[in-house]
Structure 1
Amino acid sequence: MIFYFQEIFMRALFLLPLLIVPILAEATVLTPGAAINTIGSQRMLTQRIVKAYCQQGRGVNPNVAKQQISGSINQFSTQLTNLLESATVPESIAAVKKQEAQWQTFRTLAQTPPKADTAKQLDEIAEGMQYDAGELAKSLEAAMGKPQGKLIRIAGRQRMLSQRLAKAACMQSWHASPTLKSQQSLAQKEFAAGLVTLRTSAQNTPATLKQLDLAQMQWVFLENALSGLDTAADNNIATTSERLLEVMDKLSNQYERLGN
């Protein structure tokens, strides 16, 4: 019997480091370009989570939407830790800590059973978070002092807009709102203008231009879905917005590497 408990104890000692490692894992200190890229990703995730929450409530690929919420929450939390570790000036520290405080409420609401009223509340918080993150990205772009900084920020904003468009469309299906309709219309104009800005940059490489071609193609598909020309518009908006996000994510990463 004594030997049995000794064996259990030794196994526990062996497993203990494995349990501690994730808790003690160090955050990543981000380069200026990576910080701008990460903040752009945070902006996108606020919109993506609301979009997926709405899709659950509307019954649009609900299982996929649930997985997207879970994955987005994990990604946001990890990136928030990295941003907290990387912020060095008082303004940046205050901005990231504000995000952290808002995130606690947002994350909790996003994991509740989908309800229209909760979706509105989530969207209100997301609006504040993504706006504040956008202002922080602008200040970091100025501090970076390289033309690539602007490209990283705009490409990151394009990621956010791909999800913002899909979110606005889904939310309108749940409860029509002039504000949401205006938000969708403005986001479409901003996305189209953003593609032009990125395309005309002298900093582009053959790889980034190829990615921009792919983005343009996916953008046409998303615009068609948003116009209601497709018979299954809700599903098409959901899937096409994800494909466009994937393309823009790769482009954002390419611009980040150019800025290093």
Structure 2
Amino acid sequence: MKRYLQTIVIALSVMGLFSGAAVAAGGPKTAKVNSLVKKDAIKLINIAGKQRMLSQRIAKDYLYIGKHVAVDKAKKQLAASLKEFKANQAKLAEMINDPEIKNLLEFVNMSLSELEGIVKKPFSLDNAQLVLDLSESMLEGSQYVVDSLKKLANIKESKIIATAGKQRMLAQRIAKYYIAYQAGIKDKNTIDQMKAAVKEFDQNQKVLMNNKDNTASINQKLAQVEKLWKIVYKFYLNIEKGGLPFIVFTTTDDITKKMDQITKLYVQLYNSK
């Protein structure tokens, strides 16, 4: 995934949207946020974090439609995801006034605009590959915003919220690469990205379950995710065998929904402190 971030940084440098100092540092500068307080930071981290998930879900839905699996669900989800992504981008642009972050948000919007045009076209492997690449650019840009806000907030709680929010993205990423392989993009990168997402989800799940601040409600919902995860993660790893695209669609959506509920509970928990 790092190569996509490098591509974004280079593109922004050429466009004059990214300062040389930031490029040299190789990471986000401290963002300036309008009247930022702890509650604002936590809210923004959740919004930016959800953009990561939506970037993957948009691509996944396009691939499922092209593969003629769960078409009605995928079409409705695709339309809703595009609408929510745009609304979230507007919220982030309104609340963040750091020039570099705002310009990166604009770059993500450019990628979204291009992707939106492609998903309206008939399915083809070339279009599918473009959708995958654009979803990676949108993911990297959104991750950069999350990392910038975590650095700015400088509160330990932001890491847990970001981790819980990332689980939403990883679930959709798993489904994206699973169906990409079944749709004909059968390269090593597809398999590697799929397995890496499964591994990271598993690691993050352990971090969340061991978080000492968890409430009884959070632990209950994490236990539900863990029970489902133990059953289905082996299905995901059998990407080359295939044959279970509908199960992957429904279970990853279920996990995403549960992780969204958990992330919101973390936001409530840490905003009340």
Aligned pair partner of 2:264 in 238, 247, 253: 253
Separation (CA, whole Å) in 2 of partners of 1:158 and 1:112:
30
Question: 1:112 offset after TM fit, Å?
Answer: 2.4
Query: In structure 1, the residue corresponding to 2:211 is in which secondary structure?
Result: coil
The yes-or-no answer on 1:209 pairing with 2:219 is yes
1:129 equivalent in structure 2: 138
Deviation for aligned residue 1:227: 4.2
Aligned to 1:70: 79
Distance across 1 between alignment mates of 2:223 and 2:235? 19
1:194 matched to 2:214? The reply is: no
State how far apart, in whole Å, the 2-side matches of 1:254 and 1:118 are. Answer: 38
Partner of residue 255, structure 2:
244
Q: 1:185 aligns with which of 184, 195, 200?
A: 195
Distance in 2 between residues matched to 1:129 and 1:222, nearest whole Å: 27
Alpha-carbon contact 1:40-1:133 (below 8 Å) kept: yes
Following superposition, the deviation at residue 234 of structure 1 comes to 0.9
**Counterpart residue identity of residue 225, structure 2:** A
What CA distance in whole angstroms lies between the structure 2 residues aligned with 1:53 and 1:103? 13
Larger Cα-atom Rg? 1
Moved more, 235-244 or 219-228: 219-228
Q: How many equivalent residue pairs?
A: 232
| In 2, Cα distance between equivalents of 1:210 and 1:82 | 31
| TM-score normalised by L of structure 1 | 0.84
| Deviation of the 1:146 alpha carbon | 1.9
1:46 aligns with 2:50: no
Aligned match of 1:104: 113
Structure 1 Cα separation of the partners of residues 238 and 199 of structure 2: 17
Q: Does the CA contact (< 8 Å) of 1:46 and 1:126 recur in 2? A: yes
Pairwise CA RMSD: 1.9
Query: What is the aligned counterpart of 1:61 among 48, 60, 70?
Result: 70
Change (3 A) 1:227 1:189: closer
Matches within 5 A, 1:8-157: 31-157=40-166
Structure 1 ranges of 4+ moved more than 6 A: none
How far apart in 2 are the matches of 1:117 and 1:154? 33
Q: Equivalents in 2 of 1:221, 1:56: separation in Å?
A: 26
Give the drift of 1:220: 2.3
> Percent of aligned pairs with the same residue?
25
Residues 148 and 203, structure 1, Cα contact 8 Å, conserved in 2: no
Once structures 1 and 2 are overlaid, which stretch shifts more, 43-52 or 196-205? Answer: 196-205
Matches of 1:233 and 1:71 in 2, distance apart?
A: 24
Deviations 1:64-83 (A, max 9, x none): 11111101111111111111
TM score, norm. by length of structure 2: 0.80
Structure 1 gap segments, 5+ residues each: 1-28
The structural deviation recorded for 1:208 is 1.2
Indicate the SS of the match to 1:31: helix
In 1: Cα distance, 2:50 partner to 2:232 partner: 20
